């Protein structure tokens, strides 16, 4: 036996440390930690310095990180809360999903990108990363303002709509054909899945409760939740969707019981450990050499479209509540994050988008994620701060120490 560390363990340590150090540096500059974690992958990854070339085992860990990330996002969307926010939030979410997709899709088709690539990039422009906005609103102590409530409510629907869209896109692209009938079928399938998980799954879990309470296994509800998260991830892949869609809906199904069963801190522990690997790998897959003048222009245009489409799509539906609210809601909905990146990564893995298209998505994610906190802080500069507790938290913001 040679002295020396197991390469898997060593990579695990190096990636975890650097991702967290970059994240902390970004946080210190009031920038989102997730961008720092991605940047750590860009800097240390194979394309730039080649300091860390993630092994297959590490890539599997990153994949698991994406699954738990989406599981956590789902776990925090309580069906009852969803029904409560209703109204404005749904309008904001629907328009805020349709417009970015269309604007992204049309621009890329006009640039002569292949249709499937345009579809993927359009889909990657859809989902709002509420984590970043929620964090900013929390820091500004305005989570109880009217725009904040609309944003947080809409972002929840946004996640669900984004997942449905991703399911449809992956289904369409992986089957090769783009028949209207199939599109309809996939849509029904995905919406059905969502409705099932939101309205029926909690009831099923409720019925399993006596059985669960008779179980001798420690933390039986957590074990059940983890098993169902893995099962739906595998199931989603089996029917041609992405694993994370299954994980997200598994989270939705358990959301109602998450507080009672104290699932969130435990799943957050898993998440806290695994997510940095996912973001690092995101960054490590970014090939900076594809950035020439032409691509940079495209990336900037896509970023501007991503911002405008959310501003218009999410601002217009609430314009009757005044310009101030409309602008705040629009800006609050701009950041794209993990979901968009996952969509792009899935496209890359399915060889449906090129390195260049992937680079556009990462660039767009970075731009929108930087734009929102800075602009929000500016818009809220005169707002009196309230000291109340945050109404809603998600993903990256749960349980700050």
Whether the CB-CB separation of 271 and 72 falls below 8 Å is answered with yes
Question: Judged by CB under 8 A, does residue 206 bind a copy of itself?
Answer: no
Q: CB of residue 140 vs a copy of itself: minimum separation in angstroms?
A: 15
CA-CA-CA-CA dihedral for 20, 26, 31, 33, to nearest 10? -10
- Contact with a copy of itself (CB under 8 A): which of 108, 118, 268, 299? 268
Residue 151: CA count within 13 A, CB half-sphere: 37
User: How is 3-65 classified by DSSP, letter by letter?
Assistant: SS--HHHHHHHHHHHHHHHHHHHHHHTTS-HHHHHHHHHHHHSTTTT-S----HHHHHHHHHH
- Applying CB under 8 A, does 185 fall inside the site for a copy of itself? no
Q: Which is nearer to a copy of itself, 145 or 396 (CB)?
A: 396
CB of 101 to a copy of itself, least distance (A): 22
Rule CB under 8 A: choose which of 143, 303, 394, 396 binds a copy of itself. Answer: 396
Does position 189 interact with a copy of itself (CB under 8 A)? The reply is no
The helices-and-strands tally (H runs, E runs) of the chain is 16, 0
20 makes contact with a copy of itself (CB under 8 A): yes
Find the shortest distance in angstroms from Cβ 259 to a copy of itself.
Answer: 14
Q: Which is nearer to a copy of itself, 213 or 387 (CB)?
A: 213
> Which pairs count as long-range contacts for 232-239, CB under 8 Å and 24+ apart, including other chains?
233/67, 236/167, 239/189
Residue with Cβ nearer a copy of itself (13 or 195): 13
Q: How far is the CB of 289 from a copy of itself (least distance, A)?
A: 26
Q: Are 285 and 348 in contact (CB under 8 A)?
A: yes
Q: Does 265 bind a copy of itself (CB under 8 A)?
A: yes
3-state DSSP assignment of residue 141? coil
The correct pick among 84, 207, 238, 385 for binding a copy of itself (CB under 8 A) is: 238
Interface residue with a copy of itself among 215, 297, 374, 389 (CB under 8 A) is 215
Residue of 49, 115, 206, 262 interacting with a copy of itself (CB under 8 A): 262
DSSP β-bridge partners for residue 336: 128
| Residue 269 sits in the site that holds a copy of itself (CB under 8 A) | yes
Please report whether residue 56 would count as binding a copy of itself according to CB under 8 A: yes
Q: Which of 145, 233, 309, 334 binds a copy of itself (CB under 8 A)?
A: 233
Per-residue x/- marks for a copy of itself, 69-108, CB under 8 A? ----------------------------------------
Element (H, E) at 367: helix 355-379
Find the binding residues for a copy of itself in span 108-167 (CB under 8 A). Answer: none
Token pair 């070339």 in the structure block, residue: 53
Q: Tell me the site size for a copy of itself, rule CB under 8 A.
A: 64
321 is a site residue for a copy of itself (CB under 8 A): no
- Of 200-208, 218-226, 277-285, 287-295, the segment contacting a copy of itself by CB under 8 A is 218-226
Examine residue 33 and tell whether it contacts a copy of itself (CB under 8 A): yes
Chain centre to alpha carbon of residue 362:
13
* Chain centroid to CA 354: 21
DSSP structural state of residue 147: H
Check: CB of residue 50 under 8 Å from CB of residue 303. Answer: no
CA distance 55 to 57: 5
With residues binned 3-state (H G I as helix, E B as strand, rest as coil), the percentages for the chain, rounded to 5, are: 75, 0, 25
Q: Are 328 and 126 in contact (CB under 8 A)?
A: no
- The residues of the shown chain that bind a copy of itself, judged by CB under 8 A, are 1, 3-6, 8-10, 12-13, 16-17, 20, 23-24, 27-28, 33, 56-57, 60-61, 63-64, 67, 173-174, 215-223, 226-227, 230-231, 233-234, 237-240, 243, 261-262, 265-270, 272-273, 350, 396-401
């Amino acid at each position: 036996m040679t002295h020396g560390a197991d390469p898997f363990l060593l990579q695990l340590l190096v990636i975890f440390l650097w991702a967290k150090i970059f994240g902390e540096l970004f946080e210190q500059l009031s920038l989102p930690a997730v961008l720092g974690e991605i940047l750590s992958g860009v800097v240390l990854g194979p394309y730039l310095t080649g300091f860390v070339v993630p092994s297959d085992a590490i890539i599997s860990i990153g994949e698991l990180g994406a699954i738990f990330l989406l599981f956590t996002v789902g776990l925090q969307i309580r069906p009852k809360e969803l029904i409560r926010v209703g109204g404005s939030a749904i309008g904001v979410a629907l328009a805020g999903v349709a417009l970015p997709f269309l604007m992204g899709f049309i621009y890329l088709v006009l640039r002569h990108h292949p249709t499937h690539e345009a579809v993927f990039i359009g889909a990657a422009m859809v989902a709002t990363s509420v984590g970043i906005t929620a964090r900013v609103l929390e820091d500004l102590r305005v989570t109880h303002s009217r725009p904040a409530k609309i944003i947080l409510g809409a972002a929840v629907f946004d996640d669900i709509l984004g997942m449905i869209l991703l399911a449809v896109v992956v289904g369409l692209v992986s089957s090769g054909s783009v028949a209207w009938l199939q599109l309809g079928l996939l849509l029904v399938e995905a919406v059905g899945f969502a409705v099932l998980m939101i309205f029926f799954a909690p009831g099923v879990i409720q019925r399993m409760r006596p059985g669960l309470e008779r179980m001798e296994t420690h933390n039986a509800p957590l074990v059940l939740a983890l098993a169902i998260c893995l099962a739906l991830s595998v199931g989603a892949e089996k029917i041609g969707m992405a694993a994370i869609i299954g994980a997200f809906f598994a989270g939705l199904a358990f959301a109602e019981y998450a507080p009672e069963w104290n699932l969130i801190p435990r799943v957050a522990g898993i998440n806290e450990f695994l997510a940095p690997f996912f973001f690092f790998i995101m960054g490590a897959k970014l090939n900076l050499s594809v950035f020439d003048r032409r691509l940079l222009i495209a990336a900037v245009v896509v970023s501007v479209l991503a911002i405008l489409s959310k501003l218009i799509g999410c601002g217009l539906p609430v314009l009757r509540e005044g310009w101030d609210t409309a602008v705040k809601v629009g800006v609050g909905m701009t950041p794209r994050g993990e979901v968009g990146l996952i969509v792009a990564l899935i496209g890359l893995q399915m060889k449906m988008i090129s390195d260049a298209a992937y680079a556009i998505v990462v660039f767009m994610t970075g731009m929108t994620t930087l734009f929102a906190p800075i602009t929000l802080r500016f818009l809220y500069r005169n707002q009196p701060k309230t000291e109340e507790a945050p109404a809603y938290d998600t993903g990256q913001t749960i349980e700050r120490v």
